[in-house]
Structure 1
């Protein structure tokens, strides 16, 4: 009986099967091959072909022929020193807590030659505009596929794209392009990175910081690439799992000049650019900066180039957040307001709810427990119905706490993107604030 022998062949460049895809990654990353193993699920055009070796038999005194040693990386191919990690690394997916979503290796942009890592100058505005582009396009998550801009469609490829890096990095190499900062210093365009060096398969992930959601700075807007597609959502600092392990980084190539819309710069454009009748790119830029700093609730649509009352209200809220009063908080941006916005300095707009509305303070958790009956429970129930989260009520709501109240609160909490203990159906201060905002 002839012994089976494996003969190595170069994988097809355009074959989408898992075997070829994995084989292509391993061939591009020679150190990773030393960890052993052959590509899985080969196809007719794949990486491994089973052949019969004449003259080699199984039986007494015989032994199967050894597998051929993995070939070296193709001549002329080099990768940054950061690309020496295992071929498979997994990131945490809050929608699939028991599963894994692998990320790809560090490497060049798809369809382009490999280049040495460089720091390309960019601004916060440009980082956030690129991040928003994928959100709008609803780019599907994939560790194998690349978007039209050449970046890999996973979490580290998303950050690489937003930071405009020369290649596709991974969670083990992104830190080399950033400066470590404190979480209290986070500004839009910075990232929160968790790389589990001991076991990269256990939860490694990266998100882009989009701004604080609440005045207490316990929740932020996270831009991230995860299943099923690019998303931005309110996320607890720093993430749903492994929160303490996330580290904040600021891109080393960040410049202070504001990019984005044509004709917009970090210089004060003058009072004539704002106010009734104004229609220009500076107004759009102002609105976007204000939404990043907590002013999104003032805009029903936009922001846009035509000056509106929403621009005035959001500007006034930002000015008041700095402690200014009177003419200093008239809703018309001056040089000082503009400088704080474009540099990301100053205090964010406090999350106090819908303009003109006032929510009563959270009355305490003890009011919302089985057996409790009070006016706060009924007030909570009526607000849940008003916000569209009353489907579990068959009657009421009323003053007595019921399972219907708990299930409706749970539905509201899950709509905020919360999971686990954060969505247990019992309101806390943040649930109360958001419900009445």
Structure 2
């Protein structure tokens, strides 16, 4: 009696395990298919290696039934048992909170195209790290420990950091330290990370976040960029995290480009330029400004952040600092210039709310009818002056007077706010950029 017929479905197969170092198209295709195939317990097909294991065990069992017990037992004993997979994870990906170390394949959910693995990671500035992290937040990349986003990185916490750091692969929380150096809490700067590895089971419960800057002057909260369910997010987070706080360790990526420790790859004292600030700005200089303002007493203006995207909190904190120096009018418009930047980075002048208080504002300057913004302090609830009348009359001339049933007049009303907001929204501004309160950009466009 032979075993050929009954066992032929098991030992005769075409599924060839691809060689890991082979670069031919066939092996590349098989490796990609194997990485993105469904697990066996979800209906996927077993790999050639697992088929060979089962075939060997079944042959041994059949041999025992036919009387070849000793030889069959030897065959069964020699069959290799599943060992730990690369990265130290011996369990199925579907049972772990993050995937294992893997190369870039660039497959978005449902896609059939793959990006070629990238070479060694290029040096990055801190600003680039934060900007890369922000792209996943903006896109709302969903959390997954087995899927890959369109840029090639696995959609879990360690894949997120691997993407932000520009690594040529998706790492894990227990391999990311190989690309970094330990630092202290007081050394944290945007682009650094905080890693927690569960000592009982590193594959389950571990996590990593990207540090985006301190959210308060006491350094009890920071802005965290992280990939966690249901999708990538940026949020104010208690230091070091919501749970296991004492076990998170700060790390700094060793691939930072030279001169990037100030958060933008430029001199920490040189004014970056007025074009880096204001509605629509999104860059590391905005983050740096917010951090400096927090250090000078402006933490109360931020519910989260500071961050790279310009917001009303940045404008109000800047204006408060300018007013603390006794500046008024266009000198306290909430947009930093060379003098504001010089005072902030070099520790000059008075802190916000400190040093004897902020002087009372002087009387309103005469209305010029030009494009010079008189200052934000002349607009809002309780204000009454000729600047409000001038604003309302210009809004009516521009076709944005639909909210007025009476007026415009010198006393600020909700009609003024709605008219301003309508004008701001017509410029394409949204959120805090269209809050109904005029700033320098609103004034300049309205009177141009």
TM-score, normalised relative to structure 2? 0.52
Matched, 1:56 2:63: yes
Give the deviation of 1:89 after TM superposition.
Answer: 9.1
Report the counterpart of residue 411 of structure 1 in structure 2.
Answer: none
SS at match of 1:248: strand
Give the deviation of 1:251 after TM superposition.
Answer: 1.7
Aligned residue among 314, 317, 324 for 2:317? 314
Give the deviation of 1:164 after TM superposition.
Answer: 1.2
Give the deviation of 1:186 after TM superposition.
Answer: 1.9
Give the deviation of 1:214 after TM superposition.
Answer: 3.0
Give the deviation of 1:131 after TM superposition.
Answer: 0.8
Alignment gaps of 5+ in structure 1:
23-38, 74-81, 91-98, 357-437
Residues 217-366 of structure 1 mapped to structure 2, 5 A cutoff: 217-255=219-257, 256-257=259-260, 266=267, 273=274, 286-291=285-290, 296=302, 312-317=315-320, 325-326=325-326, 333=336, 338=341
Q: Distance in 2 between matches of 1:100 and 1:135?
A: 25
Aligned residue among 172, 180, 183 for 1:181? 183
Q: Distance in 2 between matches of 1:226 and 1:271?
A: 34
Q: Distance in 2 between matches of 1:350 and 1:87?
A: 55
Aligned 8 A contact 2:96 2:204 in 1: no
Give the deviation of 1:21 after TM superposition.
Answer: 5.4
Give the deviation of 1:160 after TM superposition.
Answer: 0.7
Matched, 1:203 2:205: yes
SS at match of 2:190: coil
Residues 38-117 of structure 1 mapped to structure 2, 5 A cutoff: 40=41, 43-44=44-45, 48-49=50-51, 53=59, 56-58=63-65, 62=69, 65-66=75-76, 68-69=79-80, 84-88=87-91, 101-110=96-105, 111=114
Q: 1:234–1:297: structure 2 CA closer, same or farther, 3 Å change rule?
A: closer
Give the deviation of 1:156 after TM superposition.
Answer: 0.5
Report the counterpart of residue 124 of structure 2 in structure 1.
Answer: 122
SS at match of 1:128: helix
Q: Distance in 1 between matches of 2:343 and 2:182?
A: 22
Q: Deviations over 1:216-258 (max 9, x none)?
A: 3222222111122112222221122221111011222223359
TM-score, normalised relative to structure 1? 0.53
Aligned 8 A contact 2:215 2:304 in 1: no
Alignment gaps of 5+ in structure 2:
18-29, 106-113, 359-448
Q: Which has the higher helix share?
A: 2
Aligned residues: 304
Report the counterpart of residue 151 of structure 1 in structure 2.
Answer: 153
Q: Distance in 2 between matches of 1:166 and 1:340?
A: 41
Give the deviation of 1:204 after TM superposition.
Answer: 1.4
Give the deviation of 1:17 after TM superposition.
Answer: 9.7
SS at match of 1:102: coil
SS at match of 2:163: helix
Report the counterpart of residue 401 of structure 1 in structure 2.
Answer: none
Give the deviation of 1:172 after TM superposition.
Answer: 1.3
Give the deviation of 1:152 after TM superposition.
Answer: 0.8
Aligned 8 A contact 1:126 1:259 in 2: no
Residues 403-414 of structure 1 mapped to structure 2, 5 A cutoff: none
Give the deviation of 1:42 after TM superposition.
Answer: 5.9
